[in-house]
Amino acid sequence: MSTILSNIQQVRARIARACDAAKRPVQSVTLLCVSKTFGSDAVREAHAAGERCFGENYVQEGLAKIDALADLRAALEWHLIGPLQSNKTRMVAEQFDWVHSVERLKVAQRLSEQRPPMLAPLQVCLQVNISGEASKSGLAPHEVAEVAQAVARLPRLRLRGLMAIPEPAGELEAQRRPHRALRELLEGLNAQGLALDTLSMGMSADLEAAILEGATIVRVGTAIFGSRR
Ligand SMILES: *Cc1c(COP(=O)(O)O)cnc(C)c1O
């Protein structure tokens, strides 16, 4: 059996066990395979194993892979999960299905203006700096409500929820804390009249903690494709 296939089976089993522990249906969690730095062959292999959602960090690399996998375009969903500068929004609006890393209203406005009318609205999440790390991107928690209300009104975007990359933590209880904070932030927005259904949180090291706190998309790279160089 190929490594990617057996890794995917192991990750699916981890997700299933975590859903079980959280008393959540396994279909309530989507596996986003983070293929950054790996080639289109690795994506083909994961697709052959039954996966359809792929996450890329770097716009140029993602666009090159989308192009190399054009024959599978209708079968795949492409998610941008890395930083997006406003001068790169057009290609993203034209080529990707989701952007998890929106952190400025101006970028969201450009994505909405540039999303081609024949495509479905671009699905977006706001990235939140939930651990308050000085070096990390994302909105501060207190900034989220105002930006969310504005992004939710943009015609060619559909605001789905929040994304975070918490600071790594050792044990389960410590891992759960930032994920819980992100869920509470989402619940607060929904109490203000938004209807958000997506918590993009949890990676190779902490997907169990994220699922226990309500993650609906886990973004997994290393545990599927191996370590990056
Ligand atoms: C690289 C990356 C991931 C995947 O991380 P792993 O630890 O390799 O699973 C998830 N989310 C973002 C935003 C990333 O940049």
Cβ neighbours around 139 below 10 Å, total: 23
Cβ neighbours around 229 below 10 Å, total: 4
81 lines ligand 1 (CB under 6 A): yes
CA 116 centroid distance within chain? 22
DSSP state of 82: S
Phi first, then psi, for residue 33 (nearest 5°) are -80, 115
Cβ 131 vs Cβ 87: under 8 Å: no
14 lines ligand 1 (CB under 6 A): no
The per-residue pLDDT for range 163-183, each reduced to its tens digit, is: 999 999 999 999 999 999 999
Q: Which two tokens stand for residue 8?
A: 């995917």
> pLDDT-derived band of residue 80, with 50, 70 and 90 as boundaries?
very high
CA gap 200, 217 in Å, rounded: 5
Using CA atoms, how far residue 199 sits from 67, 185, 229, in Å, is 28, 10, 28
Please state which architecture CATH assigns to domain 3-225: Alpha-Beta Barrel (3.20)
Cβ 108 vs Cβ 93: under 8 Å: no
Mutate to test the pocket of ligand 1, among 32, 81, 135 (most ligand atoms within 8 A of CB): 81
DSSP state of 128: B
Q: Which two tokens stand for residue 146?
A: 């105002």
Angle (CA) 98 58 142, round 5°: 60
Ligand 1 centre and the CA of 221: distance in Å?
6
34 lines ligand 1 (CB under 6 A): yes
First to last CA, the chain: 24
Is the model's pLDDT at 81 over the cut of 90?
Answer: yes
Using CB atoms within 10 Å of the CB of residue 121, give its burial: 0 to 12 exposed, 13 to 18 middle, 19+ buried. Answer: middle
Average pLDDT over residues 118-142: 94
Domain ranges in the chain? Answer: 3-225
Is the model's pLDDT at 204 over the cut of 80?
Answer: yes
- The pTM assigned to this predicted structure is 0.97
Is the model's pLDDT at 94 over the cut of 80?
Answer: yes
